[in-house]
Structure 1
Amino acid sequence: MNLHLSRRRFIAWSALAAAAGFARFPLEAAASAPHRVRPFALRDVRLKPSLFLDSLQTNRRYLYSLEPDRLLHNFRRHSGLEPKGQVYGGWEADTIAGHTLGHYLSALSLMHAQTGDPECRRRADYIVAELALCQDHSGDGYVAGFTRKNEAGEIENGRVLFDEIVGGDIRPASFYLNGSWAPLYTWHKLFAGLLDAHAHCGNAQALQVAEKLGGYVDGVFAKLDDDQVQQVLSCEFGGLNESFAELHARSGDARWLKLAERLRHREVMDPLVAQQDKLARLHANTQIPKLIGMARQSELTGDPEPAAAARFFWHTVVAHHTYAIGGHSDREYFQTPDSISEFITEQTCEHCNSYNMLKLTRHLYQWTPQASYFDFYERALLNHVMAQQHPETGMFAYMMPLMSGQARSFSKPFDDFWCCVGSGMESHAQFGDSIYWQGQDTLFVNLYIPSKLDWAERGMVVELDSTLPLGGTAALRVVETSARVPTRIALRIPAWAAGWMLKLNGRAVKAELADGYASIERRWRAGDTLNLELPLDLRLEATADDPHTVAILRGPLVMAADLGASTQPYDAPDPVLVADGDVLLGFQPQGEPGHYLAPTVTRPGPLSFAPFYAQHDRRSAVYFKLLDPAGWQEASAAKQAEAKATAQLDAQALDSIQLGDESSEKAHGLRSESSYDLSYRRRKGRDARTGGYIEFDLRSAPGPLSLRLRYWGGDYRRRFRILANGRQIAFETLDGNRGNAFVDVDYPIPATALRGKTLRIRIEPEKGYSAGPVFGCWLLA
């Protein structure tokens, strides 16, 4: 079936869907219009003291600590200029080098707009000038920091891969293109940084660099037919389509819009236009920027197809793939819809996903200003984004682990530079971007972040004070007015707030309630004050797939059990909620707001609870099984039986190795290449990437023997050979059809492979695939 819909077919589908009762998306589309409301420029909003201002200032200190010349190292080197600084480590020492510079340029530009900081603008201007110099030296518009590894394993200038591509040699993988780690993704970050410098720092040269680089990129794609373009787009390319749509909006050149529309990854976009959820097993953050680009294209062209895809994607992810904290993905991938309870692990919720979902939310809200969009925005901002940055060091977490007892891992200042470090620098530089929005004659207040808005165009100044998220009050005071001020102020009433109260100048007022907003219309005068009171009651939120797996929330905040310092190991059972009736009756306020003690309803013992976001240096529990006393006894017995079975297996094995455990691997003479230790669901393991291998020794004995390997049943796109003393004993394929559980597979070892007292096991992937991960290995008689 060809899922590519024409505009006419989409409109016809909408009518049919509405007639069939699937009315939400078509009706919402009909009520939508680009820029029905608009955000204020960052420069119009200044933050007042709060946890958000603290976070922004912490982030600014980190931005100051980075050296632009070190981030520019590869750009200068590969344009033929002498670098002025040593290249950083981590991802910046890999073939994805250069992505951080784009993030950094965006963060500096946003920080300048948010605070007026001249040093951030000076650094941004310096970087743009250096990029222009590199570009001029290349002579054809090319400028990049990424590299590529050739077939001989040598690192080369990244531009050689585009010479190959225009010649028809296209070798894509999910994250690699002709030996380079996501080069188009890296370019998207650079384009975004240049466009931010142009928008927020008024740097005209940034737009010139972007257009010249755009000319080079357009020249590459002009030499490819449509099938070749789709081959290239099968490798992660970020939101490069958004970059060219925005370049068109800034320059007015239709060339860039044509290219943006050509960068449509049909395999992903066509099902979304057709309103089909085929997200399972897709890398989550690879997709979201594409949808942001689709949303921007729709705003510029009025085409309903890309808008339909963006809207359906957002609703699908939020309703069916999102955890309590507002994030999504496990091990960076979407799982089957409504399966959250099965994927509460130590590798949940990549930060880049939430960063990009907030960007997408802003686009959709502009079309249809409904409070529900900012109910999600508030949840992800408070519970994921604010949890991602360490408040003292300013470092960032990649994943936000939700498995009980897990601790957050934060980046090092100069030796990681993950994607989430880059998106973290941006997230924590722009908290004022969505507090206030403007309609034709309405001031919308969507986030209760203490701040001051100067609406110069309408001659209005307001100040917002708030005790949220720990307290439940907010006050909006009109400071200055003019004859041009809007007559209506609309305050978002969060979905979690029941029994709210609104006062105007100290007196209770009955407000019009529509689309989630309490609106007051009047002629506003200086000194007018709106006071909003929002109750912060505890409530349970169950996962869609299991009513007995629950999270606890208080107002906008997810609560978490404090399981001890992150520096201390955790080996206790997962905590459980046990009660015959309302379990929340067992929670007692303790100390400062948002802190509770549960002395009787948690097992195996009493627990203290506090907001999840603030537990940066603690091990915590977010999700709990909610059981009655009998269910608790049954679950305890099952755990004991599982532990007994594991002990029996270890006892009967001739030998075993715990892959991923340094001491066990050393004891068994592990050798490997392109292989990584990991942990999943508290089990250590190891995988091998294409071109690599895993090899180790086991104590052997006369046969017959079998090798038992443990896998995660949901792993897929794994193809690998298993050899014993050089003889292949199996070719394994993991295709994700063995369930959401660990599975053990036994491989008989032929007598011809048994010799001596040692058995050398080798696991090597087929080219283009990974091997494992293997989470356990036993040699059995």
Structure 2
Amino acid sequence: MNTFPGLTRRGLLAGVSGASIALAAGPASATDPELDRATALPLHDVRLLPSRWADAVDRNRLYLLSLDPDRLLSPFLSQAGLLPKAPRYGGWESDTITGHTLGHYLSALSLLHAQTGDAEARIRVDTIVSELARVQTASGDSYVGGFTRRASDGTIENGKVIFREIASGDIRSTGFDLNGAWSPLYNVHKTLAGLLDAQALCGNQKALGIAVGMAGFLRGVFDRLDDAQVQRVLSCEYGGLNESLAEIAARTGDRSWLVFAARIYDRKVLDPLAEKQDDLANIHANTQIPKLIGLQRIAELSDDPARRIAPRFFWERVTRHHSFVIGGNADREYFFTADTPSQHITEQTCEHCNSYNMLKLTRQLFANRPDAALFDFYERAHLNHVLAAHNPRTGMFTYMTPLLSGAVREWSTPENDFWCCVGTGMESHAKHGDSIFWESGDTLLVNLFIPAEARWTRMKARLSLQTRYPDDGAVSLQLADLPAPRRFAVGFRLPGWAENRFTLAVNGVPAEPRRKNGFLVLRRVWNAGDRISLILPMSLRIERTPDDPHLITVLRGPAVLCADLGPAGDGKPYDGVDPALVAADPIADLHPAPDDPLSFITAAAGRPGMLRFTPFHGQAERRSAVYLRCFSETEWAAEQTRFLAEQRQRKELAARSVDILHLGEMQAEHDHAVSAEKSYPLVYRGRNGRDLRAGGFISFRLKIRPGPMLLRISGWSAGHDDGFTVRVEGHVLSVQPADNSGQSRTSDVDLPIPAALTNGKTQMTVRLEGSGTRTAGPFFTVRTLDAAAALPI
């Protein structure tokens, strides 16, 4: 934690809308000397020992050092009028969001240096900071930025121009577009965060100066806006900008930055959370999580306890009511309705950025109020999602980690993707030692069971944590070096899944710990060489989804298991039937595989045959089933026909789908080049979509194949809608009449696509045009389908 030397609680700050905040002088008086707040041991004091976690750091290092910093710096230099030293990378780095990766990369290099001591990482950090200083000097007004914007005539120009427009009151803001730029404040936040990490982890003081200068440029823009205008700006994704501004306040001791940070507050999202209202369904997940991280950081630096309410309530709702079994959340990037995971088991679940940020928020909450339950979630997401989103063979990353049975993980390429999740992946796999050990007063807390050595400066001790966890439940902590006998406490997190079953011993002698906040705490005089041994029961169990008791998952200790459905490398759609279990007690039917003690096979319960369960995080290049339906024999007899028919229908539709656009969703619309007028994103009946108003249009690109094709437009009809016109490649394909039936229903329109419009092409432009005087839609999805055979409706 950073502190404010010389500042006291008397330093009141003028806040927003009558609110006020003050910089806290420090932690409140300890009510429990063992567990009153906590601080993670510094990353540079922790070194990983051989394990899957250390392997991930090593593989990630190879990727980080394979990248050319000059290519990531290229847009920053060109926007400042300087000559780039190398061309930009592809993917997102060739789009208007260009520049966001450099901030992630700067953070990842800084973390890698702190975690491993890697000298090359430190050299690259210093080089990048020096180049950004050149950019800032050339800009002449402290601006540093790499992003561009698309002007109204379609030309690409320097993204800096949007700030002049915004300062003048010209604010055109939507969820992911601000005055023609793709999430520009999100982009700026990544740069600021990278600079702040360079200062904190590599000691580069020049980086802090650059960050302060850029923050000053932004403040000059926001100072010209009233509160209503600020809210319009903040309706576009802004990442954790408030966190960076609060951190600048912490680093500089300048109270004014905390005032600015408090202004970066999206009332539409944060006010309901502060009132403990869960309105999260159908809003973009990762846009919101950093807002809460920033709000929590402001709360840490202020005397206003009300600011802590929203972050903790948000964490509780997301982790307990809006998440999947692997700890990830969201379907197609959007939160689903609370407690309805069974309705969202798709190929687009669990964006990695979401878990990256949820783990950051978890660390913040734990530091403020240590509780083992927080790290039960952290462990679940860290092992089962973050590790699963990294390919140990190639070092590449997933955007989504799909939970649909048979789906494959789609991996990034080294130089032609640079999604947001590539950036957070770079960071996640540079810092696996950052949350293992914590200290609270004179108590050492062991939160994660990852093999590592550490220095505990407070006690001048060297620690060694040895374990094969989660492969087995034995954990051993040795006080490898202690200059003299010392009295202090050591606490081990007792995972909630262990259900109070454990064995604890000191130097082989059983020990009786004190329980505190979910930890097993031993306080005594310790000597060099003392060893504490914890054994946890790694038994199998099932978890049922809250909205469908027939849909289950299998876990062993902290690890989510999945049914192995074979290799993923054939490039073909999965054409198998989703596996199921038929057993009154599915755990009793599972027994260890003869060739692998970490895998389990069914004796009689597997359908359509024997199933092999293995840890999900290890299935990087295989198909799997995490969620399986489980029936009794009687239930299976009744369900089998319906279940199999439903599976066949869904597989047939998926196999014939060439492309699908989910309207109203940020990444899907961007990937399909959606442009629109008089059409607005919305949520209706729990689904994201777009309406289409009279005189408006929605235009987009869809992939096609040679041969007969269909265009399927899926939406909702209220029974009193206007019609609409469908154009393909500029030609009228269909004029859909108004619906005056008065019957509300889902509406699926299938339109044959004439071969003359698509011959020789791999993509086509589709345009939906509104007519009449009312509204058509909302439209949810548009697909191109292979029309070779009859399709399910």
Q: Same fold (TM over 0.5)?
A: yes
* Mapped contact 1:708–1:745 kept (Cα < 8 A): no
2:529 maps to 527
Partner residue, 2:442: 441
* Counterpart residue identity of residue 80, structure 1: G
Q: Which moved more, 1:589-598 or 1:130-139?
A: 589-598
Shift of 1:546: 1.5
Matched, 1:598 2:598: no
Range with greater deviation from structure 2 (760-769 or 224-233): 760-769
Give the letter aligned to residue 137 of structure 2.
Answer: D
SS in 2 for 1:527: coil
Post-superposition CA distance 1:104-123 (Å, at most 9, x none) = 00000000001111110000
**Structure 2 residue 560 is the aligned partner of structure 1 residue 558:** yes
Asked whether 1:217 is paired with 2:218, we answer: yes
Look up the equivalent residue of 1:198 and give its one-letter code: Q
Contact 1:245 1:256 in 2 (8 A): yes
Q: Compared with structure 1, are the counterparts of its residues 93 and 687 closer, same or farther at alpha carbon in structure 2 (3 Å cutoff)?
A: farther
What TM-score, normalized by structure 1, do the two folds share? 0.84
Which residue, 584, 587, 591 being the options, matches 1:588? 591
Distance in 2 separating the partners of 1:83 and 1:462: 47
**Secondary structure of 1:552's partner?**
strand
Give runs of aligned pairs for residues 164-243 of structure 1, distance below 5 A: 164-243=165-244
Q: Give the C-alpha shift of residue 367 in structure 1.
A: 1.4
Say which SS state the counterpart of residue 313 (structure 1) adopts. Answer: helix
**Separation in 2 of the partners of 1:479 and 1:644?**
59
Q: Name the amino acid aligned to 1:773.
A: T
Shift, 1:544, TM fit: 1.4
The corresponding residue for 2:126 is 125
Tell me the secondary structure at the aligned position of residue 134 of structure 1: helix
C-alpha offsets along residues 370-391 of structure 1, whole Å, 9 cap, x if unaligned?
1001100000000001101100
The verdict on how the C-alpha distance between 1:57 and 1:485 changes in structure 2, with shifts beyond 3 A counting, is farther
The residue type paired with residue 437 of structure 1 is W
Displacement after TM superposition at 1:46 (Å): 0.7
Per the TM alignment, residue 438 of structure 1 is displaced from its structure 2 partner at its CA by: 0.5
> CA distance change for structure 1 residues 71 and 583 in 2, over 3 Å: closer, same or farther?
same
Query: Is contact 1:387–1:612 with CA below 8 Å preserved after alignment?
Result: yes
Cα drift, residue 553 of structure 1:
0.2
State the partner residue of 1:701: none
Q: Distance in 2 between matches of 1:776 and 1:648?
A: 14
Q: Deviations over 1:487-521 (max 9, x none)?
A: 11001111111421001101111111221111111
Paired with 2:193 and 2:264, the residues of 1 have a C-alpha distance of 16
Give distance in 1, aligned partners of 2:672 and 2:585.
54
Residue identity opposite 2:67 in structure 1? L
Q: Deviations over 1:200-250 (max 9, x none)?
A: 000000000001101100001011111110000000000000000000000
Change (3 A) 1:713 1:366: farther
Q: Could you say which residue in structure 1 is the equivalent of 2:576?
A: 572
Paired amino acid for 2:315: W
Distance 1:32 1:243, change over 3 A: farther
1:513 corresponds, among 512, 515, 533, to: 515
Q: 1:575 to 1:259 in 2, by over 3 A?
A: same
Match for residue 549 of structure 2? 547
Question: What letter matches 1:342 in structure 2?
Answer: Q
Partner of 1:674: 673
Match of 1:614 among 612, 615, 618: 618
Deviation at 1:695, TM superposition (A): 8.7
Amino acid at match of 1:417: F
Q: Which amino acid aligns with 1:314?
A: W
Superposition deviation, residue 583 in structure 1: 1.3
One-letter code of the match for 2:236?
C
The residue number in structure 2 matching 1:679 is none
1:41 is displaced (CA, Å) by 0.8
Give the counterpart letter for 2:411 in structure 1: F
Contact residue 473 and residue 531 of structure 1 kept, 8 A:
yes
The answer on whether the counterparts of 1:434 and 1:447 sit within 8 Å (CA) in structure 2 is yes
When structure 1 is superposed on structure 2, of 492-501 and 355-364 the one drifting more is 492-501
State the shift of 1:638 in Å. Answer: 1.4
Q: Secondary structure at the match of 1:264?
A: coil
Please tell me whether the aligned partners of residues 484 and 528 of structure 2 are also in contact (alpha carbons under 8 angstroms).
Answer: no
TM-score normalized by the length of structure 2:
0.83
Moved more, 323-332 or 723-732: 723-732
1:367 counterpart residue number = 368
Runs of 5+ consecutive residues of structure 1 not aligned to the other structure: 9-28, 651-655, 663-671, 677-685, 699-706
Give the equivalent residue in structure 2 for 1:350. 351
* 640 and 542 in structure 1: CA distance in 2 versus 1, 3 angstrom threshold: closer
Specify the SS of the correspondent of 2:209.
helix
Indicate the residue corresponding to 1:332 in structure 2. 333
Q: In 2 relative to 1, CA 768–144 (structure 1 residues): closer, same or farther, beyond 3 Å?
A: farther
| 1:317 aligned residue | 318
- d(CA) in 2 for partners of 1:320 and 1:215? 39
Matches within 5 A, 1:110-509: 110-482=111-483, 485=486, 487-498=488-499, 499-509=501-511
For 1:774, the equivalent position in structure 2 comes to 782
Q: Is the 8 A contact 1:452 1:464 kept in 2?
A: yes
1:660 is aligned to: 659
After superposition, the Cα gap between the structure-2 partners of 1:409 and 1:270, relative to the gap in structure 1 and judged at 3 Å, is same
**Cα deviation, residue 648, structure 1:** 13
Structure 1 residue 165, shift from structure 2 partner: 1.0
Structure 2: give runs of 5+ residues left out of the alignment: 1-15, 21-29, 662-670, 676-688, 759-763
1:368 CA displacement: 1.2
2:617 is aligned with what amino acid?
Y
From the superposition, tell whether residues 315 and 5 of structure 1 become closer, same or farther in structure 2 (CA, over 3 Å).
farther
Q: Secondary structure at the match of 1:564?
A: strand
Deviations 1:18-42 (A, max 9, x none): xxxxxxxxxxx99999971111110
Q: 1:160 to 1:251 in 2, by over 3 A?
A: same
What CA distance in whole angstroms lies between the structure 1 residues aligned with 2:90 and 2:491?
48
CA distance in 2, matches of 1:647, 1:136: 57
How far 1:708 moved relative to its partner? Answer: 8.9
State the one-letter code of the partner of 1:627: F
Pairwise CA RMSD of aligned residues?
Answer: 3.7
1:62 match: 63
* Offset at residue 448 of structure 1 (A): 0.6
Query: What is the aligned partner in structure 2 of residue 667 from structure 1?
Result: none
Shift of 1:600: 1.3
Query: How many residues of Structure 1 are paired with residues of Structure 2 in the alignment?
Result: 709
Q: Give the deviation of 1:729 after TM superposition.
A: 2.2
Check 1:757–1:302 CA distance in 2 against 1; reply closer, same or farther (3 A cut). closer
3-state SS of the aligned residue for 1:369? Answer: coil
One-letter amino acid of the structure 2 residue matched with residue 606 of structure 1: M
Query: Percent identical across equivalent pairs?
Result: 46
Write the letter of the residue equivalent to 1:140: D
1:722/1:635 Cα in 2 relative to 1: closer, same or farther (>3 Å)?
farther
Paired residues of 2:722 and 2:737 also in contact (CA < 8 A)? no
Q: How big is the shift at 1:480?
A: 1.6
**Cα shift at 1:772:** 4.5
CA gap of 1:696–1:464, structure 2 versus 1, over 3 A, is: closer
**Partner SS, residue 106 of structure 2:** helix
Counterpart of 1:333, as a letter, is Y
Q: 2: distance between equivalents of 1:693 and 1:404?
A: 29
SS for the counterpart of 1:453 is strand
1:95 paired residue number = 96
Distance in 2 separating the partners of 1:341 and 1:446: 31
Displacement after TM superposition at 1:661 (Å) = 8.7
Answer yes or no: is the 8 Å Cα contact 1:32–1:367 preserved in 2.
no
| Aligned equivalents of 1:768, 1:98: Cα separation in 2 | 38
**8 Å Cα contact 1:564/1:618 also seen in 2:** yes
